[in-house]
Chain A
Amino acid sequence: MIDFEPVKFLIVDDDEVSVIKIKRAIAKAKLGNPVRVANDGIEALEILRGDGGQEKITPPYIVTLDINMPRMDGHEFLQEIRNDTRLKNVLVFVLTTSSNEADIRAAYDRNVAGYILKENSESDLIDKINMIENFSNLVVLPK
């Protein structure tokens, strides 16, 4: 049975302006997808597991992940969910300004769906958000 419920976005990013930017891009792409925001890896884990006073996010959802964050950065977050039997299949797109080779390699080693560079251009970001949305509609997401 195909699920027509719209995919949720979990934005994991510590930069407030960056979060607004992604939210605006989603709005401008005329996508009505629900959005949840986590300021670092720890908060994202709480939302995914439904602990720490956070309401648990229900599938289908996609995670957009920044790399450089306080407390628990993107790499540590990826390691944590890949070792968690209930979260190891979560679909993650890295959305970051870091073009560092080591960051890219480490992210793909932990099976991210894609590593996307955040350019400053707004139209560029809208295109990318659109792509992620289309992708999530085309593929069957894990339950």
Chain B
Amino acid sequence: MQRFVEINETLFENQFAQRQTEQKIREVATHLMRATTQFEDFIDKLLIRATTIILTNSSKIGAGQVIVPDERNVFLIFAGEVEVLNSLKSDVIDISNIVQSDLADFENSKSGGFADKLRFRVRSITQSLTLLQQSETRSELAKLATQINESLTAPAGYIDLQNEAQKAKRDFDELKGDQAVAVNDIDAKVEQIVFEATGSFETDIILAADLTRIIMGIGISTSLFVLSAIFLLDRNVVRNQISRRFTTMTEDILTISKGDYSHSIRVHGRDELGDIAHALDVFKNQAAELERSNAELERFAYVAAHDLRSPLDAIQDLARWTLEDERDSLSASCIENLELLIKRSSRLSALQADLLTYAQVGEMDTSVKPLFLKDEIEKISDMLDPESHYHITLENDPGEIVTYNLPLRQILINLITNAIKHHDRSSGRITVKFSRGGGQLKFVVEDDGPGIEPRFQGQIFELFKTLQSRDRVEGSGLGLALVTKVVERLGGKILVQSDAPQERGTRFVFEITDFSEESEVSRAA
């Protein structure tokens, strides 16, 4: 930690020194620029003068005028001077360019081999100056050249300062590296605290104290900086990142909920959101699988309805026609066999019809409408027991009720059919008892048949379970399973009550939702 503090202090000093050097370099550079500009201006003036003289002379020559030897000398002198002046100009422009590009590099924290180039140009200028004729302008140029040379090469001159700046920059980079190592140390400490958060309390205190020391050591301002950085990161980066992914995921969920199971989830990651996305992917696949198997079941239902039924009907028809047409010429056992064939295939037809109904419970019309319970019971009674062997009655007639019509009819038909089918006497009583309460309609279908022993009561709601041989009582074993499925689909429940063999009779009790207005009002209250 001590090291971290030291590094930070050095870094601070280094940066302060860098700023100062930078400042000085800018001052010297400004000075240099001024000198080079003056130098250029001077050369330009000299060049104009020399060029004018040359042009004047050459026009005389061109006009065929005789040039006196003196004049020709002047011409030659100036021609040579123009050459020197041009070389001087290019040197000084070079110096100015190097300094300018150095300054630009300085901003970009780059370093260049500038010093050697500058020294070379200064030497070149000095040489060129000696080639010029002795004149006032030459001494002016020489003065400026000295100035430029001094600004560049003197101690604390441009080249010196630049070197200093480069060194400071190298130190800075080195220090930064050291600082990163120290910061990693601190990170490790923090991680250790988090990691051992569930560990002993003592360790926590020691580590927390450690961290406090570290933070104190780094200094309040640095801590504040770190904290605000974390805060900003948290608020802007992390939050934006999370909210963006949430938006994406919401879009994905909505698309999938519309049934587009081919849509892939675009959110990934190792955080909670990534976990949710993964779970959503699992749900999506299950939903797609469910949809596929439902479609398969529907296809099966159609095949069962049409393709199974026609051949079954044909078998019964053919046996019946044979009996119709040839009864007189058939033996007694042949007639008996054909009759059994008709019975068994009828049983198969009944099973097929029940299976189809069972498979289609999911598609059953569950619209809620008012109905008169008494009328409904009477219709079912006429259908199931047209000769009225059994006394089928409704107790506590509610008049009109509002509930799922078709499912209720299906349940009542199945329960009353069972009561008749399993009755051991040729006549008896079947009573439907009605009551309501708690937003539910309660029905009890009670018979005075032999009853069901408690040890068998658990089996009766299972698929294909019958308690008697199918030769004795025709049944698919689907009736009560179907009732259970319908009741449960409507959110209700069904149970059986019987004390056989001590007492006769069976009671089936089930509840379904009451949609009448009074019920709605009481529920709302």
Seen from chain A, the residues whose Cβ lies within 8 Å of a Cβ on chain B are 15, 17-18, 20-21, 24, 68, 97-98, 120, 122
Contact = CB atoms under 8 A, between A and B. Distances in A.
Interface string B302-335: 0000100110011011101100000000000000
Contact of B314 (A18, A24, A98, A122): A18
B309 A17 contact: no
A24 to B, nearest CB: 7
A98 B314 CA distance: 16
Nearest to B318: A17
Contacts of A97: 306, 309-310
B370 to A, nearest CB: 26
A15 B321 contact: no
B306 A15 contact: no
B306 A98 contact: yes
A21 B317 contact: yes
A15 B310 contact: yes
Chain B's interface size range is 10 to 19
Interface of B: 306, 309-310, 313-314, 316-318, 320-321, 349
A21 B349 CA distance: 18
Contacts of B314: 15, 17-18
B306 A17 contact: no
Contacts of B320: 122
The secondary structure that dominates the B interface is helix
A136 B253 CA distance: 61
Contacts of A18: 310, 314
Contact of A120 (B306, B316, B318, B321): B316
The secondary structure that dominates the A interface is helix
A133 B317 CA distance: 23
A17 to B, nearest CB: 4
A133 B309 CA distance: 27
Contacts of B321: 20, 24
Given A120-B313, A120-B317, 17 more contacts: A15-B314, A17-B313, A17-B314, A17-B317, A17-B318, A18-B310, A18-B314, A20-B317, A20-B321, A21-B317, A24-B321, A97-B306, A97-B309, A97-B310, A98-B306, A120-B316, A120-B349
A18 B316 CA distance: 12
Contacts of A68: 306
A68 B317 CA distance: 20
A50 B306 CA distance: 33
Contacts of A15: 310, 314
Contacts of A122: 317, 320
Contacts of A120: 313, 316-317, 349
23 contacts: A15-B310, A15-B314, A17-B313, A17-B314, A17-B317, A17-B318, A18-B310, A18-B314, A20-B317, A20-B321, A21-B317, A24-B321, A68-B306, A97-B306, A97-B309, A97-B310, A98-B306, A120-B313, A120-B316, A120-B317, A120-B349, A122-B317, A122-B320
Nearest to B302: A100
Nearest to A68: B306
The 7 A-B residue pairs whose C-beta atoms are closest, nearest first, are A17-B314, A120-B313, A17-B317, A21-B317, A97-B310, A15-B310, A17-B318
A21 B318 CA distance: 9
Contacts of A24: 321
A20 B316 CA distance: 13
A34 to B, nearest CB: 22
Residue of B306, B318, B349 with most partner-chain A CB within 10 A: B306
Contacts of B309: 97
A98 B303 CA distance: 12
A36 B318 CA distance: 21
Nearest to A15: B310
